[in-house]
Amino acid sequence: MTGTKLGVWCATALLSLQGGMIAGAQTTSAAPDAAKLSIDANEIVHPVSPMLYGLMTEEINHSYEGGLYAELISNRTFRSDWAGLQRWELVRHGSAEASVSIDKTTGPSTALNSSAKLVITSATESNTAGLGNPGWWGIGLKPHTEYKGSLYAKSDSLSGPLMVRLIGNKSGLTLAETSIKLSGGDWKQYTYSFKTGAIAASAENHIEFTVSQPGTLWLQDVSLMPPTYANRENGNRIDLMEKMAAMKPTFLRLPGGNYLEGDRLQDWYDWKKTIGPIVDRPGHQAPWSYWSTDGLGLLEFLEWCEDLKIEPVLAVYAGYSLKGEHVKAGKDLEPYVQDALDEVEYVTGDVNTKWGAQRAKDGHPKPFPLHYIEVGNEDWLDHSGSYKERWPQFARALHTKYPQYKLIATAPVKATDKLEEADVVDDHYYKHTADMLDFTKHYDDAPRTGPKIFVGEWATLAGTPTPNFGAALADSAWMTSMERNSDLIIMSAYAPLLVNVNPQGSQWGTNLIGYDAATSFGSPSYYAQVLFAEHLGDGVPKSTLTDAGARFYYSATVDSKTNILHLKLVNASDKEQPLEVHIKGLTGPHLAKITSLHGASYEATNTITETSIVRPLYSSAQVTGDSWKYTAPALTIEAVDIVLK
């Protein structure tokens, strides 16, 4: 019996289909014969892991500072380098005279014990002086929107107002303004807010803080926040949270990656310094070459999970840092093991525990759900081999105090007893397109007797700053293999997730979601992730494929609650792939709903200005009885949903 594709490709997609060609594969051979795909949806081979797809992020590519963390002001804690204050500009309107320097002798807290010292020697109402901030390559403003800010200030004789203005870079026009009445004297926190009018949404804006009289003013922790996702105070950017929510993740691996380890021992993710009032967070040097204020600290990571209704996969620092230093197992490592135990208590302990009480004091009495704890990051890179002693010390302590949680090792480990056993091992794969396409059988014959697998970081590396369609095809091929092997692979996460696309914004070539200060976009691989997670059942049925072309991949899962067969068809070839799909026992007419992603070439991609070159297109096809003839278009990723009963 034949099925006709009823659905409608839009005009651009049709054109793309005709013009499709794999880079470097300019063959003109005939289309392959029909492949036979047989599925027995009544015979479930194994369940699909309920946590198969999740998120991994860290402070890289300005993922948080200048990214997800909604703070609009860059370098709000006034770090300076050899060239002086980073990102801030001295503002001297008209004939005003002023200078700025870093004062290391005064700040509002022990954590922030320095400040920007502004000495204004001449200023008037019409000749104001102060400081300007360009944001993170601009300040994204929207019309009719309220922005809320705060800052710490100390002043001598200055008691006049501190004017705060949002200004359009091109027009020089003030888009919103307010003033703060300085009370003079010692450090004090001030708040301010203002609302934009009927402005055009844009990233090309900056902010100025100015005074109109001479005096000395010290500033620290200068903040400006837009509305945030779920109205979370000190929260996250709405568009990026929405993009993550659409990926239907089940967990967030936090806080990294290399960000967990830091470059040197002193740079590790010392979570205790990232909680509590913002003014008490000193910030720290992130390994990807810039400073983290830790405004998005441990509690904010957990609240981000809560907002997305997902759970954390908590990575604890295991005494190894990226540039090769490690803490000797034994006495030296004990404080780090204790920090890990405390961290788990902060996440999960009730309010009667020391760290549960601290979490409540920080504003979140309710414990967070947790099932997995990861010990370290990429410890296979520790060529000293010290993980074989550090792991057991952590594993024994964590397994003893928290037997209910599963432990993830980041390198293969040997155990002398149950307490030292790894429940899961974290494997990472970054591969070029052809290599990823050829890697998809890797786990098919892997032993099922050892620890489960967490593919905690993976990506096809093609396209900058975000992946191209060829990468999306290889990513999809890889995802079909993870679904097929999801009895072994229990979790996975693409990495890196986020990238600020400004030229100085990124440190990694290929990243899933791009953004600037105003807008964001999903790459072809992002849409592939959404498609795979959206169309996922809870069981893998028995299936076979014969006579398929070399770069054709598929996955079949069945949802026991909805009775939907989710077929994923990935045709990474420039030739269409005819298929005879046999679904055992299917009778009568059924509608197949099809979601397609198509690229005109491997190089086709989305950008911050052209966000929808590759995007999901929807169609349907009629399936009658148990046999369906269908042709998977060239260079296409498809999810086909068929209700079985």
Judged by CB, which is closer to ligand AHR: 324, or 330? Answer: 324
- 291 touches ligand AHR by CB under 6 A: no
The Cα–Cα gap between 589 and 105 comes to: 78
Question: Backbone phi, then psi, for 482, in 5-degree steps?
Answer: -70, -40
CB burial class (10 A; 0-12, 13-18, 19+) of residue 508?
Answer: middle
Answer whether 481's CB lies under 8 Å from 557's CB. no
Rounded least distance, CB 138 to ligand AHR, Å:
25
The Cα–Cα gap between 576 and 462 comes to: 23
Sheet-wide strand order for 35-47: 617-624, 589-598, 636-643, 564-571, 552-559, 539-546, 35-47, 577-583, 627-632
Rounded least distance, CB 238 to ligand AHR, Å:
24
Answer whether 165's CB lies under 8 Å from 183's CB. no
Nearest-Å Rg of the Cα atoms of the chain is 27
Residue closest to 53 by CA, chosen among 232, 234, 252, 220 = 252
Answer whether 349's CB lies under 8 Å from 401's CB. no
Judged by CB, which is closer to ligand AHR: 379, or 420? Answer: 379
Judged by CB, which is closer to ligand AHR: 258, or 485? Answer: 258
**CA-based end-to-end distance of the chain:** 18
Tell me how crowded residue 84 is: count the other CB atoms within 10 A of its CB.
11
State which of residues 215, 235, 256, 367 lies at the interface with ligand AHR (CB under 6 A).
256
Window 37 to 56, contacts with ligand AHR (CB under 6 A): none
Among the listed ranges 150-158, 177-185, 252-260, 269-277, the one in contact with ligand AHR (CB under 6 A) is 252-260
State which of residues 378, 426, 475, 638 lies at the interface with ligand AHR (CB under 6 A).
378
Tell how strand 539-546 and strand 35-47 pair up.
antiparallel
Tell me how crowded residue 96 is: count the other CB atoms within 10 A of its CB.
22
Rounded least distance, CB 377 to ligand AHR, Å:
5
Residue closest to 51 by CA, chosen among 439, 413, 452 = 452
State which of residues 190, 402, 405, 508 lies at the interface with ligand AHR (CB under 6 A).
508
Residue closest to 390 by CA, chosen among 407, 408, 376, 404 = 376
Among the listed ranges 253-261, 349-357, 398-406, 630-638, the one in contact with ligand AHR (CB under 6 A) is 253-261
State which of residues 258, 321, 433, 506 lies at the interface with ligand AHR (CB under 6 A).
258
Rounded least distance, CB 252 to ligand AHR, Å:
14
Place of tokens 């005819």: 578
Rounded least distance, CB 77 to ligand AHR, Å:
24
3-state secondary structure 564-603: EEEEEEEECCCCCEEEEEEECCCCCEEEEEEEEEECCECC
Rounded least distance, CB 614 to ligand AHR, Å:
23
Rounded least distance, CB 445 to ligand AHR, Å:
26
Window 558 to 617, contacts with ligand AHR (CB under 6 A): none
Rounded least distance, CB 32 to ligand AHR, Å:
37
- 457 touches ligand AHR by CB under 6 A: yes
- 58 touches ligand AHR by CB under 6 A: yes
Rounded least distance, CB 465 to ligand AHR, Å:
13
In angstroms, the Cα distances linking 337 to 321, 340, 397, 510 are 15, 5, 7, 34
Among the listed ranges 251-259, 291-299, 528-536, 598-606, the one in contact with ligand AHR (CB under 6 A) is 251-259
Among the listed ranges 126-134, 256-264, 290-298, 400-408, the one in contact with ligand AHR (CB under 6 A) is 256-264
State which of residues 377, 386, 476, 486 lies at the interface with ligand AHR (CB under 6 A).
377
Site map for ligand AHR, 410-449, x if CB under 6 A? ----------------------------------------
Judged by CB, which is closer to ligand AHR: 384, or 562? Answer: 384
Residue closest to 122 by CA, chosen among 101, 97, 99 = 97
Judged by CB, which is closer to ligand AHR: 58, or 103? Answer: 58
Rounded least distance, CB 381 to ligand AHR, Å:
8
Window 468 to 507, contacts with ligand AHR (CB under 6 A): 495-496
CB burial class (10 A; 0-12, 13-18, 19+) of residue 603?
Answer: middle
Rounded least distance, CB 269 to ligand AHR, Å:
12
Q: Report the residue number whose CB is nearest to ligand AHR.
A: 257
The Cα–Cα gap between 288 and 508 comes to: 9
Rounded least distance, CB 232 to ligand AHR, Å:
25
Judged by CB, which is closer to ligand AHR: 220, or 511? Answer: 511
Judged by CB, which is closer to ligand AHR: 321, or 377? Answer: 377
Burial 611-645 (b: 16+ CB within 10 A, else e): eebbbbbebbbebeebbbebebbbbbbbbbbbebe
The Cα–Cα gap between 186 and 179 comes to: 19
Among the listed ranges 99-107, 203-211, 254-262, 498-506, the one in contact with ligand AHR (CB under 6 A) is 254-262
The Cα–Cα gap between 290 and 271 comes to: 18
Among the listed ranges 224-232, 255-263, 310-318, 538-546, the one in contact with ligand AHR (CB under 6 A) is 255-263
Rounded least distance, CB 56 to ligand AHR, Å:
7
The Cα–Cα gap between 457 and 104 comes to: 40
Rounded least distance, CB 60 to ligand AHR, Å:
6
Q: Which two tokens stand for residue 373?
A: 């704890």
State which of residues 257, 295, 356, 616 lies at the interface with ligand AHR (CB under 6 A).
257
Q: Which residues lie near ligand AHR (CB under 6 A)? A: 58, 60, 256-258, 377-378, 457, 495-496, 508
